[in-house]
Chain A
Amino acid sequence: MSPIRLELHALWAVVRRNFHLVRRYFGWEVVFLFYNVINTLTIALIAFALPARERDRIVVYLTIGALLWNFLSILFQEVASSVSWERWEGTIEYSFMAPIHRLTYLAGVCLYAVLYGVLRTLVILIAVVFFFHIHLAHADWLGAAMILAGSSLPFIGLGLMGAVLPLLSTERGAQATQVIQGVILLVSGIYYPIRVLPGWIRWMSHLSPATYTLQAARRAILNGEGPLHLLPLTIKLFLSGLILVPIGLAIFQVAEHWAMRNGTLKRNG
């Protein structure tokens, strides 16, 4: 096999393994999905406490936030937990001993997380549309899709950084991942415009790719702005991904080196 084919073969093996795992834990998947749907609905229902005039717009505003947050947390969680999972099962030594580039392994995990996140988010979207009979006639879907595509790269970069933590410490790593997720939730303007944040944390909003993604997604869906308008922002997001992914990978490799020095890859034996 040529080196590139070898890496692609391995990448696919990682994705397939994760889907096998989903199938085996199907009961949990259904429960999580159920919870996600309910959660999104309850958040959108907040808008029904408002005067009818604003209601439709706020329902969509909140739903976009909930859906994107949902997608982001799945991405983050899946990437981070696949490392802690492998440590827990003890398979990490076997995965990391394989003759492939670390990027291949991580790209496999991320690709799976993106596919899986899109699938789950779609199901929720369908449920929301069904429940609220939302009219999205003037939404520009092409613009929205473009923004999502542009933003997945920086999100993957963040995911890689999130995967580092469980590599350093199984338990505390997972805890730290949750904390980081919480901060992103707070500062990215998921359910409110970032201008309501107190000044001393608002600067963090500008560092989170989710802030820009949300603003752009709302402009596309609520205001019907097209790809041409959103192109500069999409390019910016994409470029930030081109910086974040290599940084994430580099941090991961440093952490792996550290783990190989300190013997923290192994569980027992």
Chain B
Amino acid sequence: MAVEGENLWKSFSQTKWMGARREVISSHALQGIDMQVRRREILGILGPNGSGKSTLIRLMATLLIPDQGRLQVFGLDVVRERRQVRRLINRVSVEASFFKKLTARENLAYAAGLYGVSNVQAQAEATRILASLGLPRDKLEIPLETLSRGQQQKIAIARALLTSPTLMLLDEPTTGLDPTSRRDVQEFILDVRKRHDSTIVLCTHDMAEAERLCDRIAIIDQGRIVATASPEDLISGYGQGGSLEDAFFRLTGLNQKSLEEDPR
């Protein structure tokens, strides 16, 4: 197994001061998640906004510590064996986080340096990756703040791949990309899995993307996984043979009304 999570809980609390009175508001982001990701599989995570997808990704990325439960990446505990886990993973988040005044090359040099990848190798690799994602070369030499969101996102993808991660955590990597770029990135993800033997966890709001890329899809709602199955099984099991979107609505209760009309 690439990832194994058992009974994962995570809540966040925020302190609000109402005059002198202190009020702690806590929200439960994850409520008892059990999950498994097999080696070399692409697991999709679908769910409404605020359902806990990014939180789950952050737990796997060793950026958050679960309140309860156990999470292992390739048999290593994400809390106790954090540093070994970090060698195996990388993440692309929905917002491309960079030093915005620096150029793409400078940002990539920094990221590669942290993983012990030599700068020469990193720049050559990045040029190749970005060419295949259709980013003009001269865009690498100007401050990142002058690039469009989609172009920045492509650089974020290159940054994650430079370190040859065994487990790639992709949090909405194609949000904000044009259809062509989205297609490029999707092809690229499939290609990476094939060539690097990577395992990929992909959060997305794009049903077609999930259907196209994922071997299995986990649907998450209010911090709980409500179903995990292959796209075909999800559609036939919950979508009344229609589409993945139907299955999504049904499972996440957004379409409560039609559920009541047609209880299964």
Contacts and interface: CB of A to CB of B under 8 A. Distances in A.
Interface of A: 1, 5-6, 9-10, 12-14, 16-17, 20-21, 24-25, 89-91, 93-101, 257, 260-263, 265-269
B86 interface: yes
Report the 3 A-B pairs with minimum CB-CB distance, sorted nearest first: A13-B113, A90-B97, A98-B114
Given A89-B100, A94-B97, A98-B86, A265 B113 contact: no
A135 to B, nearest CB: 44
Contacts of A261: 64-65, 67
Interface range, B side: 35 or more
Contact of A10 (B13, B62, B102, B113): B113
Contacts of B110: 13-14, 16-17, 20
B103 to A, nearest CB: 8
B111 A94 contact: yes
Interface of B: 12-13, 54-55, 58, 61-65, 67, 83-84, 86-87, 89-91, 93-95, 97-102, 106, 109-116, 118, 143, 159, 171
Given A17-B110, A269-B171, A25 B101 contact: yes
B54 A269 contact: yes
A5 B113 CA distance: 11
Contacts, number: 103
Contacts of B143: 24
A262 B12 contact: yes
Contacts of A24: 101-102, 143
A264 B13 CA distance: 11
B16 to A, nearest CB: 15
19 contacts: A10-B114, A12-B113, A13-B112, A13-B114, A14-B113, A20-B106, A24-B101, A24-B102, A91-B98, A93-B63, A96-B63, A97-B62, A97-B63, A99-B86, A100-B114, A101-B83, A261-B65, A263-B58, A267-B95
